[in-house]
Structure 1
Amino acid sequence: MTPDVSRQRLRRGVPVLSCLLAATLLAGCAVGPDYHAPEIALPLQWANAPKQTPAAPRDLARWWLGLNDRTLDALMDEAVAGNLDVATAKARVREARANRKQAIAALLPTVAGSDSLTRNRTGNSAPSDTAPISGSPYTLYQAGFDASFELDIFGANKRSLEASTRALEAAFDDLDATLLTLLGDVASTYAEARGYQARVALARRTATSQRETAALTKSKFDAGSASAVDVAKAVAQAASTEANIPQLTAAYVQAVHRLGILLGREPSALAARMDRGGAIPAPRTALKAGIPADVLFRRPDVRRAERQYAQYTAKIGVATAALYPSVSLTGSITTSAQKAGDLARGSTIGWSWGPSATVPIFNAGSLLAAVDAAEAQRDQYLLTFRSTVLTALQDVENALVSLSEERKRATKLAESAKNYGEAARLSRALYQTGTSSFLDVLDAERSAYSAEDSLLQSRVAITTDWIALAKALGGGWDRPVDTSTRVVVDTGTLPHLIDVRVMDPVR
């Protein structure tokens, strides 16, 4: 079709489109319930939190910086960039965004153009006065477009847009929840790995000391001042301590493997970096718990549950609108001629436009059942929201009490480890001079190792409890996250030939 003909056709179609767009003014109401934020009773303060100034949300942003560990800081950045669960959550955001665009498109008219060129020959089965038995072949040119617009009188499309908007908001909250979980898992696993490293080092130091004690006992046995039983016990204790090393080493390696997977890499990708060693990260700052009501906007899982409740409230309106008539405006313009130059002439143009209505009369109650199902779904998401809030409150209270009590335990363990270490040193010195029995040395060394190992575990527990509190309070990532980049970039999507062998299920 020539450009002039196309422009003429578009100019003639403007009145039809104008009528369709003007009809949007009629679509101003919606059926179904309007969304209202759910009310939930919350305590005024945390039962296990120390008295402190309520925290602002920004106080929890990048909370892991309070552990003062540069290696951990770098791992956090790498995890956000490479974690596969985060990438999946980003894809869900893109999906929700595309669904919302489709819902917006349903509120606008649709226009489709058509062009055809056919070679025709007509004939009659019997002669008549008006038509010959057969005619000469001729070429027919046709062009036109159709437009339609659904009058959203009862708000089905508006409710669909509302639902898709809430779904998009929930997808962003789901991404935030995934980031929150990821950051907590990376920090906890990192702390556990450093803890295993420290416990392996302790076991090796202790075993070395115990081997020295066993050698001393053997010397005393050779001199006749110790028994063979003492020698056997000394060797056995050193071997028992050394037996812990493989188990702790395996736990450390497994923690490093978990870190690699969390970063979206192969399990052993971080082995060399982690093997360089490092201290158990310890909290340098206190986390402010604020008030229980803060979890309603801090915790992304709570926000997601609330947005999903709003989404399924809007879906009731979609189901309810199906009970009412639907009205559409349709219009079309066509032009046909046996010569291309005659297209768009007044005598070759035909048009039609007008409303059409569809009224549900009998459907055996399926539409009402759909409304009931939508209401039941809405109830489920309200209950899920309430359950999520209660779980969030429980998480905070549990983390608060665990952190507080573990700190008390660590204080006592530190005192215990210090005194047992001193007892082991003194008993060994006295044993060398012959003023103490080997049983005292054996008991003191065993107790000292146990106390120091328990202290290391308690330090790890303090850090993981602190991390759990940061997660429970809703601390997370505060930098922009790119959700627009696709994982798979398709090529060769224009029309092309394909190898039919790829569709053969048997090869």
Structure 2
Amino acid sequence: MRTPCVLLSVLTLSACSNWVAHVPAPSALGRQQAFTTLPQGVEAQPLPQDWWHLYRDPVLDGLVRQALAHNRDLAAAQAHVQAMLAGLRQADAERWPSTELALGASYGKTADDQTLAKATGNDAPSQWEFNPGVELAYQVDLWGQVQKTIERAQAQAEQAQAAQDLMRINVVGQTTRAYVSACALGARSQVQRQSLDAVEHSVRLIERQRQGGVATDLEVSRMQALQGQTQAVLPMLDARRQSALYELAMLTGSAADVALNCTQVPQLAAPLPVGEGWALLARRPDIRQAQRQLQADALGVDIAQADLYPKVTFGATLTSSSHALHELGDSSSVMFGVGPLISWQFPNQQANRARVAQAKAIEQGSLARFDGQVLKALMEVRQSLALYNGERQRHQALQRATTSSEQAYDLAQRNYQAGALDFLDVLDSEREWIGLQAQLADADGQLVQRQVALFRALGGGWQSAAAPTVSEFSQGSQP
């Protein structure tokens, strides 16, 4: 017996000397700067956790609060986090010895009873037979496989938590966007109705002029056509606004219609804060999610490598050789065994080595996806900044153009009444003024939508003090 034990010890020590812990390769991207210059109206001030409070709109605050509490997609994400935390507790329990208590009972005749009866010339009676047993097993974590499994479960739970944070960002962003759309469309409808009132006043005026012989039927018809064009826009504006309200109801988890009479687009009370570029990007949930996936896949390589080496398990059993209930506790019938079990899939390790190669390939894919997610985050922030800057400049230009157009329309009316201008010039001025008013009202909503997109790209609004954290569980589960 000494020679096999010595040989097994030598092989085990050889495996220990060849063990190399796997270290994932770092990302080649390193620290990237999200932006080097900031457009006008944007400051590198810290981005607050609840960025929607910057609009100082109680209605918006209430809708976001309701969405975070009742949104169904967010509730599903929270349930997934709870499931992953339960998996982490399951993996953590593998560190402790496993125990099993069994007690089998059967009524009838056994082969031993039949053999004894035949030898004595008697009939074997039917009787109850009991088979108790207690087993205990503990795997010695020589290669850290159990610990790596726990760490991988923790990384997967943190990945699920990052997915929940990403869902939180999406819910907040979509709720704010739907609210801004409803307000912008309400403001747009109000502008359109004001324009319609102005056109109707012009129609009544031109009709009186026609009755006085000053205006012609052609001029009246053209003014009535402008009235119809202005009025035709209103039904779709109201329909789009109602559609935004339906979306708000879905996001807030309500089956009832949202009652909202907002006719003014919310505005920031201060320059838009974006914080420091990389610090915010590093907190984006999608980047944290990709990072935890990479960590879990790297640990998967270590777990697969541990299967290449022997496993040592200490076990203990306690049973009884007697099958009668009143004799189970007799010292003469009690049987027990204590000892180690060494198992090793050797020398055929092709399947285990293939699993190691597969795990390494999966890790390389996760590394590539992590790099891609970083690049995507940089792209989204830079694009959001560029589009916001362009929308801001467009909004300022439309404000100047609308003011000038209103002045031109007022001058055209006065000159027409004085007989210095033709009616077509007045009509063109009014049509231009109405069109610019509509564009400016749309630009008000688009500007806030660009702000919301930038807040989302920067990863704002994912923090939740009420959400369970994996780190808190890890601290509380230490033995």
Whether these two folds match at TM > 0.5 is: yes
Structure 1 gaps of 5+ residues are: 1-26, 485-507
1:127: how far off? 4.5
Tell me whether 152-161 or 362-371 shows the greater mean CA deviation: 362-371
Q: What is the Cα deviation at residue 376 of structure 1?
A: 1.4
Quote the Cα distance in structure 2 between the aligned partners of 1:263 and 1:364.
55
Query: 1:376 — aligned with what?
Result: 361
Task: Please point out which of 372, 375, 380 is paired with 1:387.
Answer: 372
Partners of 2:323 and 2:424 lie apart in 1 by: 116
Matched, 1:63 2:54: no
Aligned to 1:414: 399
User: C-alpha displacement at 1:411, in angstroms?
Assistant: 1.6
C-alpha distance 357-164 of structure 1, shift in aligned 2 (>3 A): same
Alignment equivalent of 2:99, drawn from 98, 111, 135: 111
User: Which of structure 1's runs of 4+ aligned residues deviate more than 6 A?
Assistant: none
SS at match of 1:346: coil
Match of 2:352 in 1: 367
Secondary structure of the residue that 1:124 maps to in structure 2?
A: helix
> 2:152 matched to which residue of 1?
163
- 2:236 matched to which residue of 1? 247
The alignment partner of 2:380 has SS state of helix
Offset, 1:295: 3.4
Q: Residue 31 of structure 1 contacts residue 320 of structure 1 at CA under 8 Å; is this kept in 2? A: no
Distance 1:476 1:210, change over 3 A: same
SS at match of 2:100: strand
C-alpha contact 1:424 1:448 (8 A) present in aligned 2: yes
Structure 1 pair 318/364, CA: closer, same or farther in 2 (3 Å)? closer
Distance 1:245 1:53 in 2: 38
Give the residue type in structure 2 aligned to 1:418.
Answer: T
Which residue is equivalent to 1:404?
389
| Matching of residue 461 in structure 1 with residue 449 in structure 2 | no
Separation (CA, whole Å) in 1 of partners of 2:339 and 2:88? 29
Query: Is 1:289 paired with 2:244?
Result: no
TM-score (norm 1): 0.82
User: What whole-Å deviation, never above 9, does each CA across 1:12-44 have from its counterpart, x for those lacking one?
Assistant: xxxxxxxxxxxxxxx9x9865135653523445
Q: CA deviation at 1:344?
A: 2.5
Which amino acid in 2 is paired with 1:109?
A: P
Shift of 1:240: 0.6
- Distance (Å, rounded) in 1 between the aligned partners of 2:294 and 2:403: 55
In structure 2, the residue matched to 1:437 is 422
Unaligned runs of 5+ in 2: 1-15, 470-479
1:176 maps to which residue? 165
| Matching residue of 2:182 | 193
Distance 2:323 2:393 in 1: 96
Find out whether 1:123 has 2:95 as its counterpart: no
SS in 2 for 1:123: helix
Distance change (3 Å), C-alpha of 1:340 and 1:314: same
Q: Deviations over 1:300-345 (max 9, x none)?
A: 1111111111011001112222222333222210135466454323
Alignment of 1:229-308 (within 5 A): 229-266=218-255, 269-270=257-258, 273-274=259-260, 276-308=261-293
Deviations 1:361-410 (A, max 9, x none): 46683322222221111111111111111111112212222222322222
**Equivalent residue number for residue 77 of structure 2:** 89
Task: Report the CA distance between 1:64 and its aligned residue.
Answer: 0.6
Distance 2:244 2:171 in 1: 15
- What TM-score comes out, normalization by structure 2 length? 0.86
Whole-angstrom CA distance in 2 between matches of 1:53 and 1:216: 51
1:196 Cα deviation (Å)?
A: 0.9
Q: Give the Cα–Cα distance (whole angstroms) in 2 for the partners of residues 323 and 427 of structure 1.
A: 90
Moved more, 467-476 or 70-79: 467-476
Q: Say if 1:63 and 1:311 are closer, same or farther in 2 by CA, change over 3 A.
A: same
Measure the CA separation in 1 of the matches of 2:38 and 2:445.
21
Report how far residue 480 of structure 1 moved: 2.1
User: What do residues 427-462 of structure 1 show as CA deviations (whole Å, max 9, x unaligned)?
Assistant: 234434544321122111111111111111221122
Match of 1:353, SS state, is strand
- The answer to whether the aligner puts 1:343 opposite 2:332 as a matched pair is no
Deviation at 1:472, TM superposition (A): 1.5
Please identify, of 29-38 and 465-474, the stretch whose mean Cα deviation from structure 2 is larger.
29-38
Count of aligned pairs: 449
Deviation at 1:94? 1.1
For the structure 1 residues 462 and 296, does the alpha-carbon distance in structure 2 shift closer, same or farther, using more than 3 Å as the test?
A: closer
Cα gap change, 1:314/1:448 in structure 2, threshold over 3 Å: closer, same or farther?
A: same
Q: Partner of 2:13 in structure 1? A: none
Cα distance in 1 for residues equivalent to 2:356 and 2:297? 11
Query: What is the alpha-carbon distance in structure 2 between the residues aligned to residue 84 and residue 432 of structure 1?
Result: 62
- Per-residue deviation at 1:477? 4.1
Letter in 2 for 1:147: L
Using the alignment, how far apart are the partners of 2:19 and 2:240 within structure 1?
59
Inter-partner Cα distance in structure 2 for 1:358 and 1:153: 13
Contact 1:117 1:142 in 2 (8 A): yes
Distance 1:201 1:54, change over 3 A: closer
Name 2:12's counterpart in structure 1.
Answer: none
What residue is the counterpart of 1:75 in the other structure? 63
| Contact 1:85–1:178 under 8 Å retained in 2 | yes
| Aligned-pair CA distance for 1:144 | 2.9
8 Å Cα contact 1:112/1:146 also seen in 2: yes
Distance 1:112 1:45 in 2: 56
User: In the TM superposition, what are the counterparts of 1:209-228 in structure 2 within 5 Å?
Assistant: 209-228=198-217
Please give the alpha-carbon distance, in whole angstroms, between the structure 2 residues aligned to 1:53 and 1:308: 33
Call closer, same or farther: CA 1:53–1:188 in 2, change over 3 Å: closer
Cα separation, 1, equivalents of 2:54 and 2:19: 50
Structure 1 residues 56-96: Cα deviation after superposition (integer angstroms, max 9, x where no partner): 4xx32101111111110000001111112211211121121
Residue pairs, 1:326-337, within 5 angstroms? 326-335=311-320, 337=322
Q: Take 2:280 and 2:176, find their aligned partners in 1: how far apart are those partners?
A: 21
**Aligned position for 1:315:** 300
Determine if the alignment matches structure 1 residue 473 to structure 2 residue 464.
no
Deviation at 1:353, TM superposition (A): 2.6
Task: Compute the displacement of 1:174 (Å).
Answer: 1.2
Q: Is the 8 A contact 1:123 1:132 kept in 2?
A: no
CA-CA distance at 1:168 after TM superposition: 0.9
Partner Cα distance (1:299, 1:238) in 2: 50
Please give the alpha-carbon distance, in whole angstroms, between the structure 1 residues aligned to 2:175 and 2:19: 47
Letter in structure 2 aligned against 1:157: V
